A and B are shown apart, each in its own frame.
Chain A
């Protein structure tokens, strides 16, 4: 293994991360970077899209999109005029289990931006005109997405692997369900589910911890929603059986997108780190690991071909993805399955493991150099209850992973004859 080229003390840890929980059920994590003139705010809070009424699929994302459409204090134009005049940004979107937000401003504007974030969360008016306009935008986006081979292959994969589980449903919903949603639905959904219990926020950049804590306490830390209902538990997924093959035909497409995958280990479980190291070898390291070497470098079949290990509190997947000419689709599938068979039957080499361990450790300071990288890392510490010293422990945790750990994990989760294979592009011949 290459010698570690930095001190672990350079990574975020208990001595430079401040964590504070608030009476309203929210948690703030902050780490200063006084060389930056900017401040980044990132966070997540309930609800997500996983518990929507089937007739109203897409309501969580629609509600999130409408939060910045106007408040009791600011009409749409006034609100965005204030944000854009500061040179700030604010975006809100919905995922499976949470609504996420990201905001950024110059250091001096932090208190004002936090106050505006609280305002859009607590006082949205869902104005009728903006409701219709944003609904049209969402429907147009869905119609554009319906022509996107990568998005359609992903959705086909999710339908096949998650089946009756809520994650089978696209987070943006469907055109017919969006059409069913009325303004009152959004108001009701907002009132019942959006709230500070379970909210986690990270503030990183050119602000001292006490200043960030004070600004947060006066804004989001003081928000109370007595009507906030807890989200139910996610149901379990059904185990995969056999090969499931799905294809979405899209006319006049030059490239077919392909997703091959299975379920991933729990992000908080003991198999996750061995899977992360194994995934690097399978389809990430350098120019996309073994998959990239086989499908792109040697066979020249694809511009991109790599593996991706999902992470999250719900069930996630472990995938290999590629974009190929339609005539090469079966050849690419065969090559990927060959690599999966090798990955699940042979120990990775000492050299592969050594290089990948070095890469994962060496990547830490690079991934954490920016405010955005640090904020995402802090949110994950809280999301997965890892403790503030987790990032500094990672080098030694990676060093403990063995070749046998990787093979055992690969064999547990990848079974070459139990896979979902989904693609989207021109009709299969």
Chain B
């Protein structure tokens, strides 16, 4: 009994000692959408989980309840000399710029924004390329020749999804009508599934049979509306095919998980470098999702066309248009 206790104490002391000496503990800051939004933030969480599973280390994370907490949170972790602070979301651009210039010896990785500072690594995605592919899927699948797009907050970043989507549709055929809606113009637009679902119902009733939503948690309302009306939705960021199997045509994957994982791993290995990194189709940063939930909806013929287009985009034969200022923050 006594021996056992002594062992436990010894183990605890050893454990504490080890973690004190070597443990690398990165910090992950989510945006307003929250950790388990089944979308953007959840992808970041998955990447960090993957990192901690591989390395056996841990990470800290923080969910702000409003945008005003961004800077406070960054400062708090920077003051404690966190090993690496990963902030996900374009909303962090101003806050990271301010805090990173105040704490030049702390490493920051920001996703979806570009900040030109010697201690900041910026990772952005070519969402337009991934959206191009799901636009193709929508155009190949639609029977009513009308498809929809629902964006969350109306910012250039989300316009970029729409741009790629539109071009992907036109790549397949020219006679498909696109109906677009934006949930709002403030960050609360990410958390309004009721409004998003109302907009989706409106689009479905106006003839659309497939809607691509780039709206964070609000997008769940779009998927729900698709399920309620027997139409199709296209998910975003994370693989959302499982949310309503049979009613989610595919998901535009934005591999935030890869970006977060890479940043954390590099920082641990010492290969982390500041600067700007773009993750497009070629880098595996964006993709469309096929899994057991939607394999019946995507035919081999469609896949062949998608792979052909992917090769053309990677080789540069197709250049998907971009939206000016979509990574400059707001």
A in complex with B? no
A interface residues (Cβ-Cβ under 8 A, vs B): none
B interface residues (Cβ-Cβ under 8 A, vs A): none
